[in-house]
Structures are given as C-alpha cells and as structure tokens.
Structure 1
Amino acid sequence: MSISPAVLVVALTLLLGLQPLSTDLYLPALPALTTTFGGTMVQAQLTLSSLLLAFGASQLIWGPISDRVGRRPILIIGLSLYTLSAIGSSFSFSMESLIAWRVLQGVAMGAAIMAARALVRDCFDDPIMAAKVMSQGLSGLGVVACVSTPIGGLLTDLFGWRIALLFLAVVGSVALGLILLKIDETLRAPKLDALRPNVLLHTWKSILANHTFWSFALLQSATYAGLFVFLATSSFVFIQILSLSSSVYGLLMFTMSASYISGTLLCRRLLLRYSVQRTVAIGGVFALVGGTLMGVLALAGIQAVWSIMLPLYIYMIGHGINQPCAQSGAMGPFPRSAGAATALSSFIMVIFSFFIGQWLGVRMDGTVMPTALGIWVSGVAVAVVAWGFVVRIPLPPKTA
C-alpha cells in the first residue's frame, strides 16, 4: 500500500464525509430556505433527492474513467467541482437555481466518493481487511455526520442558511488540499480499454450478472433507504411538527450519528470473530427491530421525540454494521473494475432513494407516520436481504 494507514483513514473520513455533510448540514436550513423562496414540499425534497440521483448516475461515468486514468485525477476534478458548486448553492436566487447547483454538487460528490471507495479496493485484496478499513473510514464519516447538523443548525441560527451552504466550500477546499499534498495514485494496473464501449458494456454485464454483487448492492440500498427517509423528513418533523429549534434538532442528529459510529465499531469487533455474512446477519436484527419499533409506536398514535429517536438509534447501529460490509462486498469480486462496481452499487442505491424522496414529497401529512412507515419498510428489507441473500452466498474467487 503506497499510502500510510493514518493518511488513508483521514482521506477516507474527509471524502466519504462529503455525503453526510452535503445532506445533513443543510437540513436545519431546509425549512427556512424553502420559505424564503416560496417553494413547495416537493421542491424541498428535490434539493436532496436530485443531489443523490446525480451522485449515483454520475458514478456510472466516473467509475470506468477512474479504472482507466486512475483515482487521483478524478478526486482532483471532483473536489474542484464540489467547491465551485457549494459556492454557487450559497448564492442561489430561487429553488430552481438551488436544485441546479445541488445537481452539480451531486456529480462532483460522485467523483470523490467513488474514487475514495475504489482506493480501499486498490490497497486491500482481502475482503475482511477491506471491510475493516472501510468501517474505519465510515466511523470517521460518522464523526463528520455527528457535527454536520449541529454546525448547520448553529450557522443557520446565527448567520442564515446561505452561510451554512457556503461552509461546504471550505470543506471541499481542505479535502482538495489533502489529495494534492498527500495522496499518490493507488491504481496499480490501469485498465487501458476500460472506456471502450464494448468493454464497458461487458464490464457492466459481468458485474450485474454477479450474485455477490447484487446481494451486497441490495443490502447497501436497503439500509441507506431508512437513513434517507429520516434525512428527507426529520427537519420538518422536528422543527415544524414537534416545534424544536434548529440547534436542538442539530443535537438530535448528533446523537443519531453517534449511534451509527457505535455500529461501525461493533462491525469491526464482529469481523474479528465472524465472517462478513454472519456480521451482516446480526446487523439485520438491529435494522428489523428498530424499524418495527418505530412503526408500531407510530401506529399506536405516539408522536414524540423519544418514539422516533429510540428506535432510530437501534436502526442506525445496524446501519453502521451493514454499510461497511455492503460497500466493500460489492467491489470484492472485481479488483480491476472496482470503480465500475462501486459506481453501479451506488447508482442502484440512489435510484431507490430518489423514488422514496418523490413518495415522501407527496405523503408528508403533518404527522410522523410517513417517516415511521418508511423506516419500518427499510428495516424489513434489510433483514430480508441479509438473511435471504447475503448469508447464503459465499464470497467468490476474485476475478478481473
């Protein structure tokens, strides 16, 4: 490995952390900016779901390009565009312009995060080791997520939503500086024909025909779906329905992220004793219990902070177990096409999230029910995939 372990973990934390920063930090500002522009609930959801759709779709292009030219150039381009789009978002003059800048931000984020995940596959051939390193990076992501919403709430309360969005440009610049100064190229054998149409189609076909890939890609989509439901609805639930301030809402998001971090730490402990498949099966228990508890409490008519957060903590522990295994597992069989594999798994994930976002945009009814039911369904889906697919499919021999 050409990158020191410490630098790799810091880089993964910053790069993977762009996702919670881009989604979580502006959540306290979402009701205010929607009111400022006279936007609708559907438009408010589009500022999140369009970013994620662009994030996933762009990776279908970034992935093969990185398999051909390397990870470092893609990181530099992506982080430069990310910084630019953050500046543009902060100076938006309408909901439509904000959505457009968020789309560009999603494209840029796709480049950075895809390359970050591929770095792990470049450096580690062993699936257990890759999952452990990925969990370290995702623990760092959890720390970033812990501070994202509180910072966003504080900046929004003190200076307004534009400064909260501008903060993302600062983070993008710091990440770009780290890549330029500390990260060398990790791709050992560029796939010179990766961008040829027939080769690209063959690569995608071979990935999509792989049962291990689908098992982990569906697990990644199912576990993220519950988190997305919460991200897309929580600011309206807590600020508008339950009448909490932006700062208090930020503190609740901090505790949610802390439960996710505990899940990633538990993931590493489980991987010391069990296989990836068995670890994922345990994560499925947390997801099912948390989602079901939230749904049952909502159906019972209980609408309170504790009835949402307590089940969510349980769900997020499962998310912290399942997400590292899913992300590394989807790339595992494809050492020479790691960029394409992570791009396809992310695209599948955000397609699910995009349609969930559209459903939430028309289903929000002034109660916690859409949030609770969405997370309940996600918990059931995680358990079905974990117990019905992942545990039954052994990791295959690594192929090009």
Structure 2
Amino acid sequence: MPSGWVVVFLSLLLGVQPLATDLYLPALPSITAAFDAPMAKVQATLSALLLAFGIAQLVWGPVSDRFGRRPVLLAGLTAYTLASVGSALAGSIEQLIVWRIVQGAAMGAAVMGARAIVRDLYQPAEGARMMSRGLSGLGLFACLSGPLGGWLTEHAGWRAALAALAVFGAVALALVTLRFRETLPQRNPQALRPAEMLRIWGRIARHPTFWAWALLAATSYGGLFTFLATSSFVFITVLGHSKTGYGLLMLSMSTVYIAGTFLCRRLIPRLGVRRTVALAAAFTLTGGTLAGALALAGLHTTWAIMGPFYLFILAHGVHQPCGQSGAVAPFPQAAGAASALAGFIMMVTAFAMGTWLGQRMSTGADTGVYPLTNGLWFWGVLIALVAWTLVQRHGEVRPAPVPTR
C-alpha cells in the first residue's frame, strides 16, 4: 500500500479508541442522571470498556499472526459498529456496560492491528515516526470528538453521541474492506497452538526492551486516562462549564497532543528515540507537578489545571508513538502478540486507575479537582522515572532471538 494509505488506516484504526472515550465523556453526567445510576457504575462504562479492550488484544494478537491482519480488522470493525448501535439503544446502565464491553473487545482488534502493521512494514526508528503520523490522525479525531460529543449531548441527547460511534465504525469498515491490503509478510501456522503461544509470550515477557517501552506507554496512558475519567465531572459539575464548553477544552487538549506528535517526528532524527523521550519526560514531570501544586495552593480554576496539562499532553504525543512502536520492534515474527501484550498492560493500568477513581469519587473521599490534579502529579513522577531509567538502560531495540525447535 502507498504510505499515504498506511497513514489513513493507522489514523482510523487508532482513532476508534479516543472516539469511544472522548466523544462519550461529555455525556457522562447526562447518563448518570438518565439512569439514576451511582458513580461507580457510570465509571464502569468507561473502565469496563478499557479492560475488555486490553484482554481482547491477547486473543486478537495471536489470531492476526496466524490468519493475517485484514480478517481480524474486518471482524473487529464489524463488531465495533454493532456494539455502538447497541450502546445507543441501551435501556439500563447494566445494558450499557455490557455493550461497552463488547465495543472494547472489538476495539482491541483495530488498535492491536495498527501497532502490528507498523512493525510489519517499517524498521524501528522509521516505525516510531510512522506511528507518530498515525497518532497525529488520532489527534484529529480526538479534536473533533470532544466538541462533537458535547454538542450532540446538549442538543440531541447522550444516545446521539453514542450513535455517532456507529457511523464512524461503518465508515472505517468500508474503507478497510475496499482499500486495505494484507501487511503480514508470513503467517505463522503455529501461532494459536498453546505450546507455541506460551513460548512466544515467554520470549516477549523476558525481553527488557519490551518492558521499558511498554511501561512508558502504559504510564503515559495512565495519566491521560486519569484526565479522561475525571475531567467531565471536574469541569462540568465542579467548575460549571457547559457540555459544549467542556468539548472545546477537549479540542484544545487534542490540538496540543497533535503538536506533540509533530515534535516527536522532528526530534527523533536529531536526538534519537531515547533522548527524545528523556526530554519529553521533563515536560511531563513539570506539568504534573504544577497541576498538583497549584491545586494544593488553592487555585481551583480551569487554567490552573489546563495550563500544566498542556505540558503533560504535549509530552504524551512523544511518549505514545515511541512507546508503542518500541515495545513491538524487537519482535518482527510476533508483532501481533507483542502488540497485544503491550496493549493489555496499558489497559490494565487504565482499568485499575478507573476502578480506584470510581470508588474514591463515589464515597466522597476525593472531591473537587483533587482526583484530577493529584492523579496527574502521580503519573508525571512515574513517567519520568521510567523514561530516565528503564528506557535509557534498555531502550535500544535489538531483535529478539528466535528460539530453535
């Protein structure tokens, strides 16, 4: 496929994730009111989606190594579209949680496939740059998601916001059906045999380069997820923004994120991947620390949160393409499995954080802006530690040896 089409498909496949979260976030207060549901159950519509997303990748990865990327993408996008319709028609919070679980599992096929496609087609350094181009496209979808979700929720109701996901899924499915060409150079007929799967998982799990980059991607996503899980309640309920106004804040966040992906592509040829990540981690730590310190000082305002978060999300635009491509790079013969395991680690991190936040916010143990600001501070410290230690020691990509039988 021409590189332009590769970028289009990466953008679409990676874009299903922010659409399923960002477009839906402005609707969370409305869903809470519509079903008269406790906060923990409403948070579960987000955290359960991400847990299913993570677990499903462990299945989709080996399946794609066995049968190819194309059939997995077709199956996943079909299920994603149907689950989006079901979510929009849900009659209770429990039904909505079930449909979101299906949607998350289907989403795993798309995002896992995108990471594997990059490894199929590109060497590590170029793979990081191509991933950043795909994540720039993801950022564009995220830019649209917040304002669109806010506008639809405010003028047509929360069901319309969820129905928009079905439209996107159908468009992505049509384009993959018509234009996508298989990228897997050679199928592994043993990929689904239990002994072979255990051997592959073990080889990946023992590789220090995998853990360095996978943990960078997971901690960076943990910080973003903390913002996603708490920001609608902070900005709409606590600080009094309209749903449309909140959507515009999400637009500004996504714009800064896109700038981060462009910065990533500019810095990698000059500094190399590891030094680029180390520099970005300084922005992460500064942003997280400022958010926490300003809140503790009593500055509970929109820009006391968003200003520091712009530094955080700018660096996220560097950490994600480098982390996601770096975790898969040592495994050209098992890119699907490596992509799946890296994605699983990211989503378990998000699920654990979402569960904890839901419990704390439901009981009133954490109120106001503190779940958001303290969370950013916590993740900022962890991201910097990973970027300045593990990535610097183990981040140089060397292909893992293929064991002899």
The interval holding the TM-score normalised by the smaller chain is: over 0.9
Whole-angstrom CA distance in 2 between matches of 1:232 and 1:204: 31
Note the C-alpha offset of 1:362: 2.1
Instruction: Find the counterpart in structure 2 of residue 138 from structure 1.
Output: 135
Instruction: Find the counterpart in structure 1 of residue 15 from structure 2.
Output: 17
Instruction: Find the counterpart in structure 1 of residue 47 from structure 2.
Output: 49
Whole-angstrom CA distance in 2 between matches of 1:67 and 1:169: 27
Superposed, which structure 2 residues align to 1:270-349 within 5 Å?
270-349=267-346
Pick from 102, 113, 137: which aligns with 2:100? Answer: 102
Work out whether residues 294 and 376 of structure 1, in 8 Å CA contact, stay in contact via their aligned partners in 2.
yes
Instruction: Find the counterpart in structure 2 of residue 372 from structure 1.
Output: 373
Work out whether residues 335 and 399 of structure 1, in 8 Å CA contact, stay in contact via their aligned partners in 2.
no
Residue 180 (structure 1) aligned with residue 180 (structure 2): no
Work out whether residues 241 and 366 of structure 1, in 8 Å CA contact, stay in contact via their aligned partners in 2.
no
Superposed, which structure 2 residues align to 1:349-388 within 5 Å?
349-364=346-361, 365-388=366-389
Whole-angstrom CA distance in 1 between matches of 2:100 and 2:250: 22
Which residue identity does 1:280 align to in structure 2? V
Which residue identity does 1:390 align to in structure 2? V
- Residue deviations 1:140-159, cap 9 Å, x none? 10111011010001111111
- Residue deviations 1:48-70, cap 9 Å, x none? 11000000000000000000000
Whole-angstrom CA distance in 1 between matches of 2:114 and 2:76: 11
- Residue deviations 1:280-338, cap 9 Å, x none? 11111111011000010111111100011001100001100110000000000000110
Work out whether residues 331 and 341 of structure 1, in 8 Å CA contact, stay in contact via their aligned partners in 2.
yes
Instruction: Find the counterpart in structure 1 of residue 70 from structure 2.
Output: 72
Work out whether residues 332 and 399 of structure 2, in 8 Å CA contact, stay in contact via their aligned partners in 1.
no
Work out whether residues 331 and 399 of structure 2, in 8 Å CA contact, stay in contact via their aligned partners in 1.
no
Instruction: Find the counterpart in structure 1 of residue 399 from structure 2.
Output: 397
Note the C-alpha offset of 1:397: 3.5
Whole-angstrom CA distance in 2 between matches of 1:130 and 1:66: 19
Instruction: Find the counterpart in structure 1 of residue 121 from structure 2.
Output: 123
- Residue deviations 1:61-99, cap 9 Å, x none? 000000000000000000000000000000001110000
Identity within the alignment, %: 55
Whole-angstrom CA distance in 2 between matches of 1:399 and 1:338: 14
- Residue deviations 1:311-368, cap 9 Å, x none? 1100001100110000000000000110100110111111111111111112224310
Which residue identity does 1:387 align to in structure 2? W
Instruction: Find the counterpart in structure 1 of residue 201 from structure 2.
Output: 204
Unaligned 5+ segments in structure 1 are none
Residue 26 (structure 1) aligned with residue 29 (structure 2): no
Residue 217 (structure 1) aligned with residue 219 (structure 2): no
Tell me the SS of whatever aligns to 1:192.
coil
Instruction: Find the counterpart in structure 2 of residue 37 from structure 1.
Output: 35
Whole-angstrom CA distance in 2 between matches of 1:300 and 1:92: 43
Note the C-alpha offset of 1:398: 5.1
Which residue identity does 1:241 align to in structure 2? V
Work out whether residues 55 and 108 of structure 1, in 8 Å CA contact, stay in contact via their aligned partners in 2.
yes
Note the C-alpha offset of 1:116: 1.4
Tell me the SS of whatever aligns to 2:333.
coil
Whole-angstrom CA distance in 2 between matches of 1:397 and 1:147: 38
Whole-angstrom CA distance in 1 between matches of 2:49 and 2:399: 35
Work out whether residues 153 and 250 of structure 1, in 8 Å CA contact, stay in contact via their aligned partners in 2.
yes
Whole-angstrom CA distance in 1 between matches of 2:240 and 2:316: 28
Tell me the SS of whatever aligns to 1:190.
coil
Tell me the SS of whatever aligns to 2:332.
coil
Instruction: Find the counterpart in structure 2 of residue 92 from structure 1.
Output: 90
Work out whether residues 290 and 315 of structure 1, in 8 Å CA contact, stay in contact via their aligned partners in 2.
yes
Higher mean Cα deviation, 188-197 or 365-374?
365-374
Whole-angstrom CA distance in 2 between matches of 1:202 and 1:389: 24
Work out whether residues 332 and 398 of structure 1, in 8 Å CA contact, stay in contact via their aligned partners in 2.
no
Tell me the SS of whatever aligns to 2:310.
helix
Which residue identity does 1:174 align to in structure 2? V
- Residue deviations 1:1-34, cap 9 Å, x none? xx11111111111110100000000111110011
Note the C-alpha offset of 1:399: 4.1
Instruction: Find the counterpart in structure 1 of residue 248 from structure 2.
Output: 251
Whole-angstrom CA distance in 2 between matches of 1:396 and 1:286: 28
Note the C-alpha offset of 1:180: 0.6
Residue 153 (structure 1) aligned with residue 167 (structure 2): no
Work out whether residues 132 and 262 of structure 2, in 8 Å CA contact, stay in contact via their aligned partners in 1.
yes
TM-score of the two chains, using structure 2 as the length reference: 0.97
Which residue identity does 1:314 align to in structure 2? L
Residue 228 (structure 1) aligned with residue 228 (structure 2): no
Note the C-alpha offset of 1:182: 0.5
Aligned pair count?
A: 397
TM-score of the two chains, using structure 1 as the length reference: 0.98
- Structure 1 vs Structure 2 CA RMSD: 0.8
Unaligned 5+ segments in structure 2 are none
- Residue deviations 1:355-387, cap 9 Å, x none? 111111122243101111111111111100000
